[in-house]
Amino acid sequence: MNNKKDSYAAKVRAKSIGVMVVLIILAVICILPIWILFVNASRESQDIIDNGISFIPGGHFIANIKETVHLNEIGKITYDAFIGYRNSFFITICATVLTVFFSSLTAYGLVVYDFKASGPAYTIILMVMMVPVQVTSVGFVQFMSDIKLTDTYIPLIVPAIAAPAVVFYMRQYMKSSFPLDIVEAARIDGTGEFRTFLTIGLPMMKPAIGVQAIFAFIANWNNFYTPSMILVSREPKQYTMPMMVQSILSNDKLSDLGVRYTAIMLSILPVMVIYILLSRTIVEGVAEGGVKE
């Protein structure tokens, strides 16, 4: 009996070690390119040119950041990290909140209520998901131009309400782990439908919301194409972060590689910080929040 237990424990230990090795290798592969990005952001341009790749940070981190942040003062390059952060945060947070809230609402509507249009509506949402984005985005921009919404943030924020892939995810999630009886229980308690959604539906979907919020945040933060097509008049104070980065990267006279890497690094830094913070609260919180029968 004891032997059996020991051998079982040994097996588990062996497996744990094997798993750890695989995880460490994967982690190294994942982190290495990003590490190189950060290292290059801390090196002098000449150093990068002469010595290529390095794994040891150089001493120009602060100097590079200082130079990058103040690039706009030279007058030729539209780059102001603070304006970029401000605009990008504003657009991204609004769009993310709209996406997760309305997607949860739509998915909840589809799952909880048994109504005639629910089947067709779901099919339409799935169809929408299958439309290639490359070409519709142009039509979208043209249409925004027709209704005079270019140069505003509205086309960058409001369409976030209709995010078919997120609705699909939320619906699948609810299908797999949402007890419908709880809604009925709430009705018996006399809670209004919308209130039920807010107080019971949303909290139950928390893991899914957390995951999709992170995805939506990153997708919106990194979106370069739509803002650059919508903000036609190029007011520097409307620039988003990726547009600022682009203005550095596309400038062939600014060949300082250190500054180029710093620009990219500065653009992903806030997302990384937020992700690391939120991943603790949301993804880790799933275990306790998700207990249900």
Question: At 148, which amino acid appears?
Answer: K
Residue 75 engages other proteins in binding (rule: CB under 8 A): yes
Residue 250 DSSP symbol: T
**CB of 8 vs other proteins, minimal distance in Å:** 10
d(CA 171, CA 174): 5
Residue 191 engages other proteins in binding (rule: CB under 8 A): no
Please answer whether residues 178 and 111 qualify as being in contact, where contact means their C-beta atoms are separated by less than 8 angstroms.
yes
Residue 286 engages other proteins in binding (rule: CB under 8 A): yes
Given 7, 66, 70, 137, the residue binding other proteins (CB under 8 A): 137
Site for other proteins in 90-109 (CB under 8 A): 90, 93-94, 97, 102-103, 105-106, 108-109
Please answer whether residues 286 and 207 qualify as being in contact, where contact means their C-beta atoms are separated by less than 8 angstroms.
yes
Residue 19 engages other proteins in binding (rule: CB under 8 A): yes
**CB of 59 vs other proteins, minimal distance in Å:** 18
d(CA 231, CA 156): 10
Residue 173 engages other proteins in binding (rule: CB under 8 A): yes
**CB of 100 vs other proteins, minimal distance in Å:** 9
Given 69, 126, 152, 182, the residue binding other proteins (CB under 8 A): 126
**CB of 50 vs other proteins, minimal distance in Å:** 7
d(CA 138, CA 158): 17
Question: At 85, which amino acid appears?
Answer: Y
Site for other proteins in 29-68 (CB under 8 A): 29-31, 33-34, 36-37, 46, 49-50, 52-53
Residue 73 DSSP symbol: G
Residue 118 engages other proteins in binding (rule: CB under 8 A): yes
d(CA 246, CA 213): 25
Count of residues that interact with other proteins, criterion CB under 8 A: 147
Instruction: Report helix, strand or coil for 203.
Output: helix
**CB of 230 vs other proteins, minimal distance in Å:** 9
Residue 227 engages other proteins in binding (rule: CB under 8 A): no
Residue 206 engages other proteins in binding (rule: CB under 8 A): yes
From 221, 272, 259, select the one nearest 70 (Cα to Cα). Answer: 259
From 222, 226, 220, select the one nearest 141 (Cα to Cα). Answer: 226
